[in-house]
Chains A and B, each alone.
Chain A
Amino acid sequence: MNLLSKQRRLPEAADQHHDPRAPISIHDMTVAYHRRPVLWDIDFAAEEGRLIGIVGPNGAGKSTLIKACLDLIPKASGSIRIYGKPYKKQRQLVGYVPQRESIDWEFPINALDVVTMGTYGKIPWCFPPRKKHRTAAYEALEKVGMAEYAHRQISRLSGGQQQRVFLARALVQDAQLYLMDEPFAGVDAATESAIIALLKDLKARGRTVLVVHHDLQTVKSYFDDVILLNMRIVASGPTATTFTEENLRKTYGGKLTLLVEAAEAIARGGQENR
């Protein structure tokens, strides 16, 4: 468990569990799909200006954690604050890069229009995007080295190029906190180093980035902090001290079978209690 956030705990109202300076702080959160808990008792507080990797086996709830932070799925209990306020009030501060699989690549849209969507949060309902929004989108595409593909339909881009388009969309939101769901999945080496350069640049500008990550080899070189997740937070903190063999064994080893069984039992509604 994260010692820092535990020390900050105060017994009263929900807000007092959260440090208003933390880009994101999660208190005692449990998330369930169809009553089956997938995340238990998550406590976490991020420090500003850090690159934070979220690591864990398949089905550990990494994507769920990101989605819960964005209010995309309901929480069974607990609370999340972005700079001390609920997500609803802080949307402008958060940029999101969804998982590749969630995108319909055959949709009739080009790269520039995808990136322009990043500005929609600043445009009221019923108003079309203006020239300045498109310009901002184009500049974001330039930043990820994709300007020459601005008018290409997204299915005609390579996997790495597609990923860079979605990064550009998050960039154009000009957020303080970025949540990225497996941005390195299925990209070529060139894109991977481009993404890393981008993350370093965000960090240099004081942004905080949470990244769901699969490749254990690169965790140490990419991230300042790491969250080891397997239905609960096994360990979190600076990568140097947290990303240890023992913690990894706890995360990936079969030690959590009891927790899985408990979740199954809850999903059955306790009807078959033996």
Chain B
Amino acid sequence: MIRGPVMLLVLPALVTVGVIATATFGGDELRRVLSLADYNTRIVVLGTTLLGAAAGLIGTFTYLRKRAMVADALAHATLPGIAAAFLIVGQKEIVPLLVGGAIAGTLGVLCVMGLRRIPRIHEDAAIGIVLSVFFGIGLILKSAATQLSMGDQAGLDRFIYGTTAGLIKQDAWLIGMTAVLILLTVLLLFKEFRLLCFDAAYARSLGRRVRVLDLLMMALVVITTVVGLQAVGLILVIALLIIPAAAARFWTDDLATMTWLSVEFGAASGFVGALISGSYANLPAGAVIVICAGVLFFFSMGFAPERGAVFAWWRRYALRRRIGRQHVLRALAEHEERYGNLATLPLARLQQTRSWRASELRTLIYRCRAADELTIDPSDNIRLTPTGRVRAHRLLRNHRLWELYLIRYADVAPTHVDRDADQIEHVLPASITVELERLLAEKQTAIPASPHPMGDVS
């Protein structure tokens, strides 16, 4: 779990890693870009960083409201608006185009919400319909616009694919204002957004205007998408809304922390992505930014504590190893129980007590010996050490207590009880052991006799 002041270090750390990586593998214009000496580079990096932060912020809530794909429909639905605005205004004035995009995007969202109310149309179908139909109309309008104005044929393509290098001061300002607007809204409505995302029905029962909140959230997504179109393009802008939030979810169980992490992940992707694409000629910045976010996501998925795949695997492995060692100790204790203390158990007979592979058992014994729990002589005879004996007795006692409990209270047949107890005893917390003792009135520390016939290990 990540919490506290460490959070403030995430962004600088990521940026440093990004800069070092860029410097190591950097291309032709590396030095100029890295020093941010160039005015254009500064504008571009600033713009994409702010865009990443803004998208990461509002993206957290759309992700948790499970509206992330609505944002994709929205992004695609902006195209007809942009093309129509171009046909009407007749020039590449940016503000009318963005306004047109925003109107069409909003229409797209409303269409998704409306279609969903029809029986048998689920949200995924509604999104698919709106996304493709709006985008189709957009392509037709775009070709009409291209035919009308022979001069700038590729003019509208930049909204589809994004041309980060073309960001100018005005764009950076727009993105910055959007980021501030979203920040203020989220600060003011954090409580409402949390309630809405977690339990919309309950929010409604409390009298919160759920539809108003939903529309407000989608409006912020519309604005983010539209100002982000030029930077990353309408196909990839969805990535900035989903990926930082999804990556942040791996690191924390606290919404505020997750929101903040998502902002940092988004900003870092924007910063490093712009940097990398700036230092190679012809590298599409939108794609690089998204790849940076993707790298962060997969890193989070793999290495986040508790939730990350590597840690989960390690935890399982450590548990299995612990259980294995406990099995070895218990087998030795049971052997001593039958043949008296200091009896040695040949390795071959120990192996017969369970379905151990030879190599696996060797490893376990090696580990037990390293922990000073047993000794093994050159002819493979095993004997518990005093330390090992104390532990083994405790394990055996827990095992027997469980068996008795299962027989008396859970009606498990004595013949099955060994295996059942086997699965549970390794994860028994001390508090349950105490409770077991109370239930079974086994106050003395003696080991209860086995309730079932012991299989002879010879």
Contacts and interface: CB of A to CB of B under 8 A. Distances in A.
Contacts of A127: 191
Given A71-B204, A72-B204, A91-B206, A108 B191 contact: no
Contacts of B258: 108
B189 interface: yes
Interface in B168-210: 188-192, 194-195, 197-199, 201-208
Contact of B206 (A102, A109, A121, A128): A121
Contacts of B190: 128
B254 A117 contact: no
A129 interface: yes
Chain B CB within 10 Å — which of A67, A108, A109, A121 has the most? A108
Given A108-B253, A108-B255, A108-B258, A126 B188 contact: yes
Given A91-B205, A91-B206, A109 B192 contact: no
A117 B197 contact: no
Interface string B248-261: 01001111001000
A233 B64 CA distance: 38
A110 interface: yes
Nearest to A104: B198
B191 A70 contact: no
B119 interface: yes
Q: How large is the interface on B (under 10, 10 to 19, 20 to 34, 35 or more residues)?
A: 20 to 34
Nearest to A67: B201
A110 B255 CA distance: 9
A6 B322 CA distance: 69
Interface string A89-128: 0010010101000111001111001100100110101111
A34 interface: yes
Contacts of A94: 205
Contacts of B201: 67, 70, 72, 98, 102
A131 interface: no
Contacts of A114: 198
B191 A129 contact: yes
A34 B121 CA distance: 12
A7 to B, nearest CB: 31
Contact of A98 (B194, B202, B253, B255): B202
Chain A CB within 10 Å — which of B190, B192, B194, B206 has the most? B206
A117 B64 contact: no
Nearest to B118: A34
Contacts of B195: 117, 120
Interface string B396-429: 0000000000000000000000000000000000
A153 interface: yes
A249 interface: no
B252 A70 contact: no
B232 to A, nearest CB: 26
B252 A108 contact: yes
Contacts of A103: 198-199
A271 to B, nearest CB: 15
Interface of A: 34, 67, 70-72, 88, 91, 94, 96, 98, 102-104, 107-110, 113-114, 117, 120-121, 123, 125-129, 153, 169
29 contacts: A88-B207, A91-B206, A94-B205, A96-B202, A98-B199, A102-B199, A103-B199, A104-B198, A108-B249, A108-B254, A108-B258, A109-B253, A109-B255, A110-B253, A110-B254, A113-B194, A114-B198, A117-B195, A117-B199, A117-B202, A120-B195, A120-B206, A120-B208, A121-B206, A125-B189, A125-B192, A126-B191, A127-B191, A128-B191
Given A96-B205, A102-B199, 6 more contacts: A88-B207, A102-B201, A123-B191, A126-B188, A126-B189, A126-B191
